[in-house]
């Protein structure tokens, strides 16, 4: 199996299991670092994730992955929170971040800008809408290269 097939299989297998435990599967990565492979599963829930949550999901999903043996090579399984600076990709991500300040990077300029910050106020299948100062701005989702929360310290 190639990398995309592994990720797709892990998502198909993992989403119902992780959901039944009360968590959301945010993302899956299968990467090679130096000479080792890592399967990284990112989870979230309302109120955030702690170490016990990661351990429970790791043990539960790890048993199923071992049983089905869908990844032919040896790998390390990592389960963690996606972190504050994670990209906002899915409808669930967008819904969770409504009324929060986000930054959006674009593939090509809109109104002369490739980087926009504003309050995420709405979305549909084609656009996200930001409140940028006094103006509403509809941004086509297909033109977004990266969207994430603005983190202020």
Q: Name the residue ranges covered by the structural domains of the chain.
A: 3-80, 91-149
pTM: predicted TM-score of the whole model, two decimal places: 0.74
Quote the pLDDT of residue 83.
Answer: 84
Question: What pLDDT, on a 0 to 100 scale, did the predictor assign at position 90?
Answer: 87
Superfamily of domain 91-149: Ribosome maturation factor RimP, C-terminal domain (2.30.30.180)
State the pLDDT at residue 82.
86
Q: Token pair 């790998």 is at which residue?
A: 75
The domain made up of 3-80 is a member of CATH 3.30.300.70: yes
pLDDT digits (tens, 9 = 90+) for 19-36: 999 999 999 999 999 999
In DSSP notation, 117-143 reads: EEEEEEE-SSEEEEEETTEEEEEEGGG
Q: Residues of the chain whose pLDDT is less than 70?
A: none
What CA–CA distance (Å, rounded) separates 27 from 23? 12
For the chain, percent of residues with pLDDT exceeding 90: 84
pLDDT the model gives residue 25: 93
pLDDT given at position 19: 96
């Amino acid at each position: 199996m190639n990398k995309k097939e592994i990720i797709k299989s892990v998502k198909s297998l993992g989403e119902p299991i992780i959901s039944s435990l009360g968590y959301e599967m945010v993302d899956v990565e299968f990467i090679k670092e130096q000479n080792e492979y890592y399967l990284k599963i990112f989870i979230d829930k309302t109120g955030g994730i702690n170490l016990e949550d990661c351990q429970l999901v790791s043990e539960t999903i790890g048993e199923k992955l071992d049983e089905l043996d869908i990844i032919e090579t040896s790998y390390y399984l990592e389960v963690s929170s996606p972190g504050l600076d994670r990209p906002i990709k899915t409808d669930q991500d967008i819904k969770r971040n409504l009324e929060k300040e986000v930054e959006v990077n674009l593939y090509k300029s809109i109104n002369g800008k490739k980087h926009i910050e504003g309050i995420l106020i709405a979305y549909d299948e084609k656009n996200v809408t930001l409140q940028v100062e006094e103006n509403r701005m509809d941004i086509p989702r297909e033109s977004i290269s990266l969207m994430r929360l603005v983190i202020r310290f």
